[in-house]
Amino acid sequence: MPYLFVTRGVLDALSDSRVVSDTLDLTEVRLGEDVFTPLTPATFSLTLSNTGAGIVASGTACATFRTRCVRCLCEYDTDVDAEVDGFYVEVGDDVDLPEEQEREFITDERIDLEPAVVQSLVLSLPFAPLHSPDCAGICPSCGVDRNEVACACAPDAGGSPFAALKDLFGVEEDV
Ligand SMILES: [Zn+2]
Ligand SMILES: [Zn+2]
């Protein structure tokens, strides 16, 4: 849902600024195989400033997501903190901007803060999430969760990504 902020009367003049602190609702995020379900709204605090060229939004956002550990497949909750940057210009004022400059448009004297907040959080989500940095994972030989059960499989079974495949196809390494 858009989070609209009315700039008129607040950010009209050069170097006018205003701090906006609030929350906004998030929806589920999918990154490849990983699904992140928001457990909280995003909490954000942004300073909006009129720089002459446009309006800059900068600050922080945070939220808690539930996701699945890629090693042991357990569900766990993760707090995500993000730096937020947004840039807003009037339609027509964007022609001189460098192509790589990200921008949103000021529409009817309003700007939408939601895309910048959501994007910053999505970019801060963990790639290949782990419920703990030393998660022992699932044993590729017998399939137990090695965080809970110490199995009797060779300790280096997890060292080779092909260990599970060898089991599947019954291939022996040292014949
Ligand atoms: Zn895990
Ligand atoms: Zn095992």
Q: What is the pTM of this model?
A: 0.82
Those residues with Cβ within 8 angstroms of residue 43's Cβ, 6 or more apart along the chain or in another chain: 22, 23, 61, 62, 63
Q: 4 — phi, psi (to 5°)?
A: -90, 135
Q: How many residues does the chain have?
A: 175
> Each residue of 51-101: pLDDT tens digit?
998 999 999 999 999 999 999 999 999 999 999 999 999 988 888 888 888
| Ligand 2 mean position, distance from CA 160 (Å) | 13
Distances (CA, A) of 59 to 19, 23, 145: 9, 13, 40
For residue 155, what pLDDT band results from cuts at 50, 70 and 90? low
**Whether the predicted pLDDT of 150 surpasses 70:** yes
CA 35 / ligand 2 centre spacing (Å): 27
The ligand with the least distance to the CA atom of 148 is 1
Ligand 1 ion: residues within 5 Å (CB): 69, 71-72, 131, 135
Q: What secondary structure letter does DSSP report for 96?
A: T
Q: What is the pLDDT of residues 115-148, one digit of tens each?
A: 999 999 999 999 999 999 999 999 999 999 999 9
Helix (H, G, I), strand (E, B) or coil at 66: strand
